[in-house]
Amino acid sequence: MPEQLLFAMEVTLNGLMAGVLYALVALGFVLIFKASGIFNFAQGMLVVFAAMTLVGVQQGQVPFAHLINTIFGTKVHDFGWTVPTFLAIIVAGAAMVFVAWIIEKYILHHLVGQPDIILFMATIGMWYFMHGFAPLMWGSEVMKLDVGLAQGLNDPVLNATEALFGYGFFLDNLDIVAAVIAAILVASLVLFSQYTKQGRAMRAVADDHQAALSVGISLRFIWVLVWSLAGVVALVAGIMWGSKSGVQISLAEVALKALPVLMLGGCTSIPGAIIGGLIIGVGEQLFEFAIGPLVGGATQAWFAYVLALIFLIFRPQGLFGEKIIERV
Amino acid sequence: MFYREAGDFKTSYREDNQTFPIRLDRAGYWIALIVAFLVIPFFVNDYWVNAVFAPFFIYAIAALGLNILTGYAGQVSLGTGGFMAVGAYSVYKLMVAFPDVSIVFHVLIAGGITAVVGVAFGLPSMRIKGFYLAVATLAAQFFLVWLFNKVAWFYNYSASGQINAPERTVLGVIVTGPNTEAWAKYLISLVFLVAAAWFARNLTRGMTGRKWMGIRDMDIAAEIIGVNPLMAKMSAFAVSSFLVGVSGALFFAVYLGAAEAGESFGITKSFLILFMVIIGGLGSIFGSFAGAAFMVLMPVLLKNVLVGVLGWPTALAAELEFIIVGALIVIFLILEPHGLAQLWRLTKEKLRLWPFPH
Amino acid sequence: MKMKKLAAAAVATLMVGAPAMAELVFPSLSYRTGPFAAGGIPYADGYADYFTLLNERDGGIGGVKVSVPECETAYNTEKGVECYESTKGMGALLYNPLSTGITYQLIPKATADDIPLYTPGYGRTSAANGNVFSHVFNFPANYWNGASAAVNYVLSLNNGSLEGKKITLLHFNGAYGKEPIPTLTKLAEKHGFEFNAIPVDYPGQEQKSQWLQIRREKPDYVLFWGWGVMNQVAIQEAANIRFPMENFIGVWWSGAEHDVTPAGAAANGYKAVAFHGVGSDYPVFDDIQKYVVDSGKAAGNGTNVGTVIYNRGVYAAMLVAEAARKAQEIHGTADITSSMMRDGLEQLEITDARMKELGMEGFGPAFSVSCENHGGPGTAAISQWDASAGKWSLITEFAPSDMDVIQPLIDADSAAYAAENNIAPQCK
C-alpha cells in the first residue's frame, strides 16, 4: 500500500480515539442540557475540580492548606498518608455528587422557571467561582495524576500492522483505555436513561418540566441526578486528560472542544454527541495531515468549528437534533 | 421625594420619547458628561487611566457592539475577540502605512473593515439560529486569530508576531505610543465611547432598532409584518462589528500599545464581553456600561482591598477574586435575574415613590 | 460611583502603606495562579527569597533595604498593565515581568518612564541591541542564543557536520514560540540541515497530530519551545511515540522539574538548554536555607529551593542586586533612582571572583554589559534530566553561541523597530 494511505489510516485511527474523548466531554453537556435546558458553561471547571480532588485525596493533601497557613500561621501541607486509587476515585465521585447537590440547593433551586439565558449566566458564575475555588482548595501547581493507567505505544497494534502493511501504526495505550471506558460509560448511560425508572423520569423532565412535575416526578432529584452524572463524566474525562499532562487549571480548556461537537451532533442527542465527537476527532486530524502542512499547521484551532458550520448550513438543528418547528 | 416626575409635563411626542424623560435624569446625564469631560481629565493619573478608565471605556464600546447583536437583534455571538483582532490589526496596518492621516480616521476605517468581515461571518445566520449560530461566530473567532498569527504580512514580518503601536497624534496631541499623557488617553477613549453610545442609542430606538427587536422576539412574525430579515440581520452584524472593531482598534492602539492575536484576542475575550453584556443586561445601553464596569472594575477593586488593605498574599487574593466575582454573579441572578440594568430600573422605580411607597 | 470611591480609598491606602523612603523597590510581577502558575511560583519565590537573603544577611544592598512588592498578573497582559501602573508609584527601580506579552507591552512604556526592564532569557530578543532599546536588558542569554546553543550542541554530537540531518522545532504558536524560527532557518542554511517548524496552539493539551507528524517524518532531533501544560504533554507524547529522549532538546523554559515528573521514568534523558547552574550545590542556597527558609521568611513554602526555575529567579535577583550595587557605586549614593539603576545595568560587570564571593561560583558566566550590547555573552549549556535520581545536571560547559548568525538578525529586527518608532541610536 502507498505510504501516504497508511499514514492516513494511522491518523484516522488516532482521530477516532481523540474523538471518543471529545464525545465524553460533550456528553457531560448533553446530559444537563437535555434534563434542564441549561448550557453548562462550568463543565470544564467541573473536570478540573474532579481531577484535582482525586489527586488531592490520593496524595493526602490538606485542603485549603494555603488559606489555613495564611490565617493561622501554620505550616500544614499534607496529612502524610496516601489513599488507595480506587478509594480516592470513590471519594472524588462522592465529592462531585456533593457539588451537584450544592448547585441544585443553592443556585438552581432559586432559578426554576427562569429563561435559559439566566440559567446559562448562573453557570458562568459557577465557572468563576470554581476557577478560584479549585486552586484555593488544592493549590495551583501541577499535580501528578497516576491511577495506574498504561501509557505509551501499544505493541500488539504496532506488531500486527507492521506484519500486515509493513508500517507499524501508533496507538496510545491510554487512548485505547479511554475509548473503552468512554464506550462503557456511554452505553451504560443510554441503558440507564432507557430502561430504569430514574432514567425514564429524566427523559420525562427533559420533554416537559411541568408535565413531569404533575405526574409526581421530583424535579430536584432529577436535577441533582443529572448534575451528579455530569460530575462523574467530568471525573472520567479529568482522569483521561490529566494522566497525560498532570492536573492543572488549563484542563478546563478541554471543555471548549465539546462546543463544536455539540453543535454538530445537536445539543439534545446522546448519539449525536458520540457521532459528532468521532466526526470531529477524525476530521481535524485528517485535515491537519492533508492540508495542515500547506498552510502552516495548527489548523486544529479552527477546523472543528468550520466543519460544524458547514454541517449546520445544511442541517441547522445539528445531525441528530430535534427538528425545529417554527410557528407564529 | 427628590426623584420624581410630578410637574414634568410633556407637550410633544418628541419630549415624551426622549432618552431621559425625567428632569433629574437629564440633569444627572449632563452633569456626568461635564464631570467626565471637564473635571476628571485634570485629575487622572497613569494608574487611573491605564487600570480603570481606559479598559472600562474600551470594553464598554465592545459591549455596546455585542449588545446590539445579541441583546437587540437576538443573534448570539462568540466571535467578539476575533472581530476585535480585525480592528486591531487593521488599525496597525493603517497606522504604519499612512502615518500622516489622523488616527481617528484609522480607527473608523478599522471599524469599517471589521464590519465587512462581520457581515461575511454573519451570513450563516440566515439559516442557523439560536445557540447553533454561536458555532459560526466561534469559527470566526478561531479562524481569524489563527490567520493573524500565521500570515506574517499582518504583523509586518516581525520575528515574534507582536504588533506595536507607533506614536500618532490627534490635533497635535499624542494619543498612542508610550509618550501619551494620561488625560489624552482618557479623552480619546471617552470621545469614542460617548459617540458610540449616542450612535447605538439612536439606532436602537429608531426604525432599525425596532426591526432588530422584531427579529429577536420572533423572526417569522417579523418577516410577515414586513421586516426584511436579511437586511435586519446583516445591518445588526455590520453595526455590531463596526463598534467591536473600533473597540479592538482602541484596545490595541490606545490602551495596550502592543498586542498579539492569540494572547490579546483569544476566546476568553469573547466570553468576557459576552459576560459583560449578559450580566449588565441584554438589550440595554446602560447595561453595557454596567456590565463592563462590573467585569473591569470589580477585580481591580477586590485586588486593591484584599492585597492593599488586608495584606493577603497575592495568589490567595487572586483566587478569592474569582470566588467573589462568581458568587456575586450568582447572588445578583437570584435577586434580580435580568442583569444590572434591570436592577437599576427597579431602583429608579422605587426611588420615584420614595418615601411614600403606596 | 460608590465603587470608584472605594477603589480610590483602597488605592490611597495602598500608596500610603507602601514603603516611603530609602528602600530599593523591585516589584515582582508574578503569576502564582492561572495556566502558567507552575512556572510562575518557583520563579517568584526565588526572586523574592534572594532579596530577603540580602536584607537578612547583609542588611540590604549598600546598607539600603530592598522591598519586593508582589503583584499578581496571572500571565495576563491587561493585569500586567494594572500591576505596572500600581507599583510604578512606589519608586520602582526595575521590572522583571516573566512574560513575553507583558514585556512587549512594557518596552515602550518603561522606556518613556525611564525605568529599566530586565528580561533574562525571555522577552524581545532584539532588545539585546542597546543602541535601540536603551532601557531593556536581556543578558546573559536570549532565545536566539538558546536556539544556537542547541544547534551547536547537536553539531558537537555529530562531529561538526549536520549535512543531511533533519531538525524539527515544536513550538508554542505565539510570540514566544515563534522567536527562534528565523535563527534556526539561518542556521539550517549555514549547516545544511533540513529544518521545519510545527506549531502547537495554546494551551497545548492536545498534541497528538503533531507527534504523529514527528513520528512519520522521523527528524533526527526535536527542539522544543513550550511553556505551561504544553511541556508536560510534549514530554509524555515523545515518550509515547518512543522518540529517543536524548535527541529531544527543550529551551530553558521547557526544562524544569514539574515538566518532566508527570511523565515519570519515561522522561529520563530529556535535555534542556540552560543559561545558569542547576541544583542546590552552591553556598548561596545554604544561606537562603539558613537566613530565609528556616526563619520562616520564605516567599513560598520553601520546597522549591534548588529547583530549576527557582534558581533562575535567584540568578535574576542576584544580577539585579549586582547592578544596583554598581549603580550605587557610579553615582555615589545608596538611594538610587530608576535612571541610575539603568546606568548600573549598562555598566554591570560580573567576574568569576565576584561570583565566588556571592557563593555562586560557576553558576553563570562572567560577562560585562555595554551600551551597545544589552544581551550579555549569550552563553548556554545543556542540562539533562535523570529520572531515577530525580534531578537535572549540566552535561556541557557554558559555551558561546553563533553570534555571526544572531547579530545580523538582532540588528535587522531592532532597526525595523527603530524605524517604526523613530528611535535615534543612544550610544555615542
Whether residue A328 and residue B279 make contact (CB cut-off 8 A), yes or no, is no
Residues C107, C111, C114: CA angle, nearest 5 degrees: 140
The one-letter code for the residue type at A108 is L
Give the amino acid at B299. Answer: P
Q: How far apart are CA B299 and CA B314, in angstroms?
A: 13
| Interchain contact B334–A (C-beta under 8 A) | yes
pLDDT of A25 reads: 84
**Under 8 Å between Cβ of C36 and C101:** no
Residue B239 pLDDT > 60, yes or no?
A: yes
Chain A residue numbers with beta carbons less than 8 Å from the beta carbon of B326 are: 125-132
Average pLDDT over residues A89-109: 93
Over residues A164-192, the mean pLDDT reads 86
pLDDT at B246 over 80: yes
- A146-155, B167-176, C82-91: lowest mean pLDDT where? A146-155
Q: Alpha-carbon dihedral of residues A6, A9, A14, A15, nearest 10 degrees? A: 140
Q: What is the per-residue DSSP string for C31-88?
A: -SSSTTHHHHHHHHHHHHHHHHHIIIIISSBTTBEEE--EEE-TT-HHHHHHHHHHHH
Nearest-CA residue of chain C relative to A286? C209
Specify the range with the lowest mean pLDDT, choosing from A129-133, A260-264, C7-11: C7-11
Interface touch A66/B322, C-beta < 8 Å: no
CB C170 within 8 A of CB C234: yes
Task: Identify the band that residue A224 occupies on the pLDDT scale cut at 50, 70 and 90.
Answer: very high
Q: Give C13's contacts in chain B (Cβ within 8 Å).
A: 308-309
pLDDT of res. C4: 45
Report CA dihedral (A266, A269, A270, A276) to the nearest 10 degrees: -20
A153 or C407: which leads in pLDDT: C407
Tell me the shortest Cα–Cα distance from B86 to chain C, in angstroms. Answer: 17
Give the amino acid at C170: L
- pLDDT (tens digit, 9 = 90+) per residue, A70-97? 888 888 888 888 899 999 999 999 999 9
> Which pLDDT belongs to residue B2?
67
Q: Which of C206, C212, C232 sits opposite A170 (nearest CB)?
A: C212
Q: Which residues of chain C from 54 to 113 reach within 8 Å of chain B, CB to CB? A: 70-72, 74, 77-78, 81-82, 84-86, 88-89, 100-101, 104-105, 107-109, 111-113
Closest residue in A to C42 (Cα–Cα): A141
Instruction: Choose the closest CB to B55 out of C78, C111, C124.
Output: C78
Chain C 163-182, residues with CB within 8 Å of chain B CB atoms: 173-176, 178-179, 181-182
Instruction: Please identify among residues 6-35 of chain A the ones whose CB lies closer than 8 Å to any CB of chain C.
Output: 7, 10-11, 14, 18
Q: Is C212 an interface residue toward B (CB < 8 Å)? A: no
Contact A62, A81 (CB under 8 A): no
Average per-residue pLDDT for chain A: 87
Name the pLDDT band for C18 (thresholds 50, 70, 90).
Answer: very low
Most A CBs within 10 Å: which of C232, C240, C309, as the mutation test of the A interface? C240
- Which residues 117-136 on chain A approach chain C with CB closer than 8 angstroms? 135
Cβ–Cβ contact C423 with B under 8 A: no
- Name, of A69-78, B87-96, B333-342, the range with top average pLDDT: B87-96
| DSSP per-residue codes, A156-211 | HHHHHHHHHHSSPPP-BHHHHHHHHHHHHHHHHHHHHHHHSHHHHHHHHHHH-HHH
Task: Compute the average pLDDT of residues A254-272.
Answer: 82
Contact B161 C104 (CB under 8 A): no
How many C-beta neighbours within 10 Å does residue A148 have? 7
pLDDT band at B112 (very low <50, low <70, confident <90, very high): very high
- Cβ proximity of B326 and B275 under 8 Å: no
Give domain limits for chain A.
3-257
For residue A245, the distance in angstroms to the closest alpha carbon of chain C comes to: 5
Q: Is the pLDDT score of C288 beyond 50?
A: yes
> Residue B358: pLDDT above 70?
no
The amino acid that residue B190 corresponds to is L
Please state which of the ranges A89-93, B156-160, C159-163, C183-187 shows the lowest mean pLDDT: B156-160
Out of A17-21, C146-150, C210-214, C237-241, which region has the weakest mean confidence (pLDDT)?
A17-21
Measure the CA–CA gap between A92 and B272, rounded to whole angstroms. 30
pLDDT digits (tens, 9 = 90+) for C345-398: 999 999 999 999 999 998 999 999 999 999 999 999 999 999 999 999 999 999
Among A135, A142, A170, the residue with its CB nearest the CB of C33 is A135
Least confident of A241-250, B241-250, C164-173, C304-313: A241-250
Using the Cβ of A263 and the Cβ atoms of chain B, whether some distance falls under 8 Å is answered with yes
* 3-state secondary structure (DSSP) of residue C340: helix
Hey, are the CB atoms on B142 and A302 less than 8 Å from each other?
yes
More confident residue, C34 or C17: C34
- The residue of chain C nearest to residue B51, with distances taken between CA atoms, is C82
Q: Do C199 and A151 make contact, defined as CB atoms within 8 angstroms?
A: no
Q: Which residue spans within C187-305 are E strands per DSSP?
A: 194-200, 221-225, 248-250, 271-274
Contact criterion met (CB < 8 Å) for B278 and A316: no
Q: Is any Cβ of chain A less than 8 angstroms from the Cβ of C393? A: no
Structure-model confidence comparison of residues A92 and A18, the more confident one: A92
DSSP class of residue C125?
G
Asked if pLDDT for residue A1 goes beyond 70, the answer is: no
CB B292 within 8 Å of CB B63: yes
Weakest-pLDDT range from A55-59, A112-116, C185-189, C208-212: A112-116
C-alpha cell at B257: 500599545
Inform me whether the pLDDT recorded for B194 exceeds 50: yes
Residue C133 and residue C426: Cα distance in Å, rounded? 8
For the segment A228-238, what is each residue's pLDDT rounded down to a tens digit?
999 999 999 89
B222: nearest CA in chain A?
A328
Contacts of A132 in chain B (CB under 8 A): 318-324, 326
Q: pTM (2 decimals)?
A: 0.91
Q: What is the per-residue pLDDT for C260?
A: 93
Q: What is the pLDDT of residues B267-316, one digit of tens each?
A: 889 989 998 998 898 889 999 999 999 999 998 999 989 888 888 888 89
Task: Point out the residue among A118, A309, A313 whose CB comes nearest to the CB of B333.
Answer: A118
pLDDT band of residue C132 (cuts 50, 70, 90) is very high
Average pLDDT over residues B23-32: 87
Distance from CA of C270 to the nearest CA of B (A): 26
Judge whether A102 and B293 are in contact, CB under 8 Å.
no
Check if B319 contacts A (Cβ < 8 Å).
yes
SS3 of C138, please?
coil
Angle between helix B207-217 and B182-204 (nearest 10): 70
Parallel/antiparallel/unpaired status of strands C166-172 and C221-225: parallel
The DSSP bridge partners found for residue A11 are none
Q: Which chain C residues are within 8 Å of B50, Cβ to Cβ?
A: 81-82, 84-85
Neighbouring C-beta atoms of residue C180, cutoff 10 Å: 27
Subunits close to B (at least 3 CB pairs below 8 A): A, C
CA dihedral over C345, C350, C356, C362, signed as positive or negative: positive
pLDDT of residue B1: 57
Edge to edge, the sheet with strand C194-200 lists C194-200, C166-172, C221-225, C248-250, C271-274, C381-386, C391-394
Nearest CA in chain B to A108: B334
Q: For chain A, list the contacting chains (3+ Cβ pairs, <8 Å).
A: B, C
Q: In chain A, which residues have their Cβ closer than 8 Å to the Cβ of B315? A: 66, 140
- Nearest Cα to Cα of residue C201 among A304, B22, A174, B235: A304
- How far are the Cα atoms of B205, B358, C327, C365 from residue C402, in angstroms, in the given order? 65, 84, 31, 16
> How does residue A149 score in pLDDT terms, banded at 50, 70 and 90?
confident
Greater confidence (C132 vs A166) lies with: C132
Find which of A14, A25, A76, A140 to mutate to test the C interface (most C CBs within 10 Å of its CB): A140
- pLDDT of C373 reads 92
- pLDDT of the residue at B357: 64
Cβ <8 Å between A18 and C258: no
How many helices (DSSP H) and strands (DSSP E) are in chain B? 16, 4
Q: How far apart are CA B89 and CA B281, in angstroms?
A: 30
pLDDT, tens digit, 9 for 90 and up, residues A203-218: 888 777 788 889 988 8
pLDDT in tens, C293-346: 998 888 888 888 999 999 999 999 999 999 999 999 999 999 999 999 999 999
Interface mutation target, options C72, C125, C185, chain B, most CBs of B under 10 Å: C72
User: For the residues A191-204, what does the mean pLDDT come to?
Assistant: 86
Which residue, C70, C12, C64, is CA-closest to C46?
Answer: C70
Contact pairs from chain A to chain B, CB under 8 Å = 134
Which of B225, B333, B335 best tests the A interface by mutation, with the highest count of A CBs <10 A? B333
Q: Which residues contact C190 (CB under 8 A, 6 or more apart)?
A: C402, C405
- C-beta atoms of A312 and B136 within 8 A: yes
How far apart, in whole angstroms, are the C-alpha atoms of residue A41 and residue A21?
A: 18
Q: Is the dihedral of CA B70, B73, B74, B75 positive or negative?
A: negative
Cell 522577552 locates to C123
Instruction: Give chain C's domains with CATH numbers.
Output: 18-141+280-377 (3.40.50.2300), 143-274 (3.40.50.2300)
> Is any Cβ of chain A less than 8 angstroms from the Cβ of B1?
no
| C13: pLDDT strictly greater than 60 | no
Which of A24-33, B146-155, B183-192, C131-140 shows the lowest per-residue confidence on average (mean pLDDT)? A24-33
CB A140 within 8 A of CB C34: yes
Closest partner CB to A152 (pick from C210, C216, C240): C240
A255 contact residues in B (CB cutoff 8 A): none
Is A324's pLDDT higher than 80?
no
pLDDT at C20: 44
Closest-CA distance, A73 to chain B, in angstroms, reads 12
* Mean pLDDT value across residues C261-290: 92
